[in-house]
Amino acid sequence: MINLETPRKFRPFIKQAHQVAEEFLRANSRKYDLAEHAYPKELDLLASLVDGMGDSGQGQGAGAAGVRRDDADENDKGSKVNNGTNMSSVLSIIEMCWADVGLLLSMPRQGLGNSAIASVANEEQLERFKGTWAAMAITEPSFGSDSAAITTTAVKDGDAYILNGEKIFVTAGDRADSVVVWATLDKSLGRAAIKSFLVPKSLPGIRVERLEHKLGIRSSDTAVIVLDNCRVPAENLLGNPEIDTKQGFAGAMATFDNTRPLVAGMAVGCARAALEDIRRLLEDAGVVIDYDRPVQSQSYAAATFIAMEADWEAALLLTLEAAWLADNRKPNSMEASMAKAKAGRVGNQITLRCVELAGTLGYSETELVEKWARDSKILDIFEGTQQIQQLIVARRLLNLTSSELR
Compute the radius of gyration of the chain from its Cα atoms.
Answer: 21
Question: What's the pLDDT score for residue 49?
Answer: 75
Question: What's the pLDDT score for residue 228?
Answer: 98
Residue 372 lies in a domain: yes
Residues 6+ apart with CB under 8 A from 178: 113, 129, 132, 133, 134, 135, 198, 199, 200, 201
Q: Would you say the C-alpha torsion 52, 54, 60, 63 has a positive or negative sign?
A: positive
Single pTM value for the model: 0.92
Q: Examine the pLDDT at 300 and tell me if it is beyond 60.
A: yes
CATH code of the domain in which 210 resides: 2.40.110.10
Give the burial class of 202: count Cβ atoms within 10 A of its Cβ; 0-12 exposed, 13-18 middle, 19 or more buried.
Answer: exposed
Confidence of residue 250 (pLDDT cuts 50, 70, 90): low
Note whether 124 and 153 are same-domain residues: no
Note whether 110 and 44 are same-domain residues: yes
CATH code of the domain in which 52 resides: 1.10.540
Note whether 255 and 384 are same-domain residues: yes
Question: What's the pLDDT score for residue 379?
Answer: 97
Long-range CB contacts (< 8 A, 24+ apart) of 3-12?
Answer: 3/81, 4/317, 4/320, 4/321, 4/324, 6/91, 7/83, 7/87, 9/60, 9/83, 10/60, 10/83, 10/87, 10/88, 10/91
In this structure, what is the dihedral angle of CA atoms 110, 221, 181, 320, given to the nearest 10 degrees?
40
Residue 91 lies in a domain: yes
Q: Are 200 and 131 in contact (CB under 8 A)?
A: no
Note whether 138 and 124 are same-domain residues: no
Note whether 264 and 385 are same-domain residues: yes
Residues 6+ apart with CB under 8 A from 301: 282, 287, 357
pLDDT, tens digit (0-9, with 9 covering 90-100), for 323-356: 999 888 899 999 999 999 999 999 999 999 999 9
Q: What is the count of structural domains for the chain?
A: 3
* Residue 269 dihedral angles phi and psi, to the nearest 5°: -65, -45
Q: Are 153 and 227 in contact (CB under 8 A)?
A: no
Mean pLDDT across 273-283: 98
Intra-chain end-to-end CA distance of the chain, in Å: 34
Residue 245 lies in a domain: no
pLDDT, tens digit (0-9, with 9 covering 90-100), for 81-136: 787 888 988 999 999 999 999 999 999 988 889 988 988 899 999 999 999 999 99
Mean pLDDT of the chain: 90
Residue 374 lies in a domain: yes
Question: What's the pLDDT score for residue 216?
Answer: 98
pLDDT, tens digit (0-9, with 9 covering 90-100), for 22-78: 999 999 999 999 999 999 998 998 888 777 666 655 544 434 555 555 544 444 445
Residue 179 lies in a domain: yes
DSSP single-letter state for residue 99: H
Question: What's the pLDDT score for residue 63?
Answer: 45
Residue 405 lies in a domain: no
Question: What's the pLDDT score for residue 48?
Answer: 81
Q: Which of 61, 94, 128 is the last residue of a domain?
A: 128
Residue 122 lies in a domain: yes
Q: What is the spatial distance between Cα 356 and Cα 354, in angstroms, rounded to a whole number?
A: 5
Q: Examine the pLDDT at 194 and tell me if it is beyond 50.
A: yes
**Selection from 219, 113, 222, 212 nearest residue 174 by Cα:** 222
Return the ∠ at Cα 198 (arms to 193 and 203), rounded to 5°. 120
Confidence of residue 13 (pLDDT cuts 50, 70, 90): confident
Q: Which of 90, 105, 128 is the last residue of a domain?
A: 128
Note whether 26 and 113 are same-domain residues: yes
Note whether 54 and 31 are same-domain residues: yes
Note whether 39 and 86 are same-domain residues: yes
Note whether 300 and 354 are same-domain residues: yes
Which structural domain range is residue 218 located in?
134-236
Residue 325 lies in a domain: yes
Mean pLDDT across 307-324: 97
Q: What is the spatial distance between Cα 80 and Cα 62, in angstroms, rounded to a whole number?
A: 22
Cα 36 vs. chain centroid, distance in angstroms? 21
Known catalytic residues?
383
Q: Which of 236, 271, 305 is the last residue of a domain?
A: 236
Tell me which of 275 and 253 has the higher pLDDT: 275
Question: What's the pLDDT score for residue 35?
Answer: 96
**Selection from 152, 146, 211 nearest residue 176 by Cα:** 211
- Among residues of the chain, what percentage have pLDDT more than 90? 71
Three-state DSSP state, 59: coil
Note whether 62 and 177 are same-domain residues: no
Tell me which of 240 and 308 has the higher pLDDT: 308
Note whether 201 and 293 are same-domain residues: no
Residues 6+ apart with CB under 8 A from 73: none
Note whether 275 and 390 are same-domain residues: yes
